[in-house]
Amino acid sequence: MSHILCICTGNICRSPMAEVLLQRRLEQEGLTDWQVTSAGTWAVDGHPASRHTVRVMADQGLDLTPHRSRAVTRHIIQEVDLVLAMTHNHVEALRLEFPDQAANIYLLSEMKDGRRYDIDDPYGGSLADYQACASEVTELIDTGVGRIMSLARHARE
């Protein structure tokens, strides 16, 4: 079993989306024993996912109502095989704070074709902004799932 951690800033928009979308995709690949979780670099523990995040995921049949934000900690990051972050700043901050885990920290965007770019934060935006973010995250996961699985397996070994 591998464990993948999705990271954004507040752990109420992008990373919870990525968590449930990636978990579903891995299950579609037959990896029902893999675990996907999320956290934030500047998260306040205990906040629910934003209402637009919950709605956009509900429209895809995914329930984020139980989600509660949490800040990334050494304990959390040491328990995972692969970290997928939303921005260059997240990657840089995590690699500086947890240098022993640096080799397993990547941008989600680079899973698709190796191109590295930030995924915009929809926080405070319109429902359409959240839908666009969810579409982008879904595409990155769907096209990058092979690389995600390979990196997680390699880190596990």
Point out the residues that are catalytic: 8, 14, 121
88, β-bridge pairs: none
Residues 6+ apart with CB under 8 A from 65: 48, 49, 54
CA dihedral 131, 93, 98, 22 (to 10 degrees): 10
End-to-end CA distance of the chain: 11
Residues in the chain: 157
How far apart are alpha carbons 86 and 108 in whole angstroms? 6
Residue type, 44: V
Contact indicator for 45, 69 with CB cutoff of 8 Å: yes
How far apart are alpha carbons 88 and 63 in whole angstroms? 28
